[in-house]
Amino acid sequence: MDRIRVQVCVGTNCCFAGGESLIEMLEADIDLIDFIEIEGVRCMEKTCAGGRESPVVEIGGKKITRATPESVIEEIEKAVLAQIAGLPKAREAGDA
């Protein structure tokens, strides 16, 4: 299984709104850490709308604005489930 790529904006607006705290929180989550790859990324320019939509987190191409630990974990779980949903087919093909 591929690790889910979680990109957390650590531009100044997003840091001020808790971007670095989000990374710290995710890194401390031992149930989650094996499934994800966390990366602090540069300001995604217009996404945060001058900080009004900060912090911004991108998971599997989807941008989450005003991200909270709750909304980020929910999105990661969705991405993990989507990967698992894709697995049985591959296994069947392998078994055959």
Contact residues: other proteins, CB under 8 A: 10-22, 24-25, 40-43, 50-51
Kindly report the length of the chain.
96
What's the burial of 22, exposed, middle or buried (CB within 10 Å: 0-12/13-18/19+)?
Answer: buried
Shortest Cβ 33–other proteins spacing (Å): 15
Q: Least distance from C-beta 65 to other proteins, angstroms?
A: 15
52: which 2 tokens?
A: 């009004």
Would you say 43 or 73 has its CB closer to other proteins?
Answer: 43
Nearer to other proteins, 49 or 87 (CB): 49
Instruction: Give the DSSP H/E element, type plus range, for residue 64.
Output: strand 62-64
